[in-house]
Amino acid sequence: MKEGVLHSEIISLDFIDKNGNINTPYIDTLKFNYLDSLNFIDMNPDNVKQFSTPYKLDFSKKIELYSPEYYSIYTIYNTTKAMEYYNKLFDNKIDFNENKVYRTIEVSIGDISALTSPNFYIYEKGTNTSPSICFHEVGHRAFWYIEDDLGIKFKGLSVIHMGLLEYFTVSLNNSPLVGEDCFPTEMVRNAEELYNYPLDESFTLRRTLELFAESYSDKIEDSTSNVAKYIAACYATYDDEILDNIFDNHRGAMVLTSTLWRVRQVIGQEKMDKLVAQTILNLNEFMDERVDFFSKEHINSLQNRIEWCDVFWGLIQKDKEFFNGENATVITTEFKKTGYLIDLIIFQ
Instruction: Report the C-alpha gap between 68 and 90 in whole angstroms.
Output: 33
Q: pLDDT under 70 in the chain at which residues?
A: none
C-alpha 142/C-alpha 167 separation (Å) is: 13
Residue 179: name the closest of 105, 86, 114 by CA: 114
DSSP one-letter string for 302-321: S-SS--HHHHHHHHHHHHHH
**Bond prior to 198 in cis (omega within 30° of 0):** yes
Residues 6+ apart with CB under 8 A from 248: 203, 204, 205, 207, 208
> Helix axis angle, 328-338 relative to 308-323, nearest 10°?
160
pTM confidence score = 0.97
Euclidean distance between CA atoms 121 and 113, whole angstroms? 7
Distance CA 139, CA 145 (A): 10
Length of the chain: 348
Q: Is the dihedral of CA 186, 190, 196, 198 positive or negative?
A: positive
Distances (CA, A) of 341 to 44, 138, 195, 199, 311: 38, 31, 14, 13, 13
Which pLDDT does position 287 carry in this prediction?
Answer: 98
Q: H or E stretch including 189?
A: strand 189-190
Rounded to an integer, what distance in angstroms lies between the CA atom of residue 122 and that of residue 137?
A: 12
Strands (E), 29-153: 29-40, 48-55, 104-109, 120-123
- At residue 184, the pLDDT reads 86
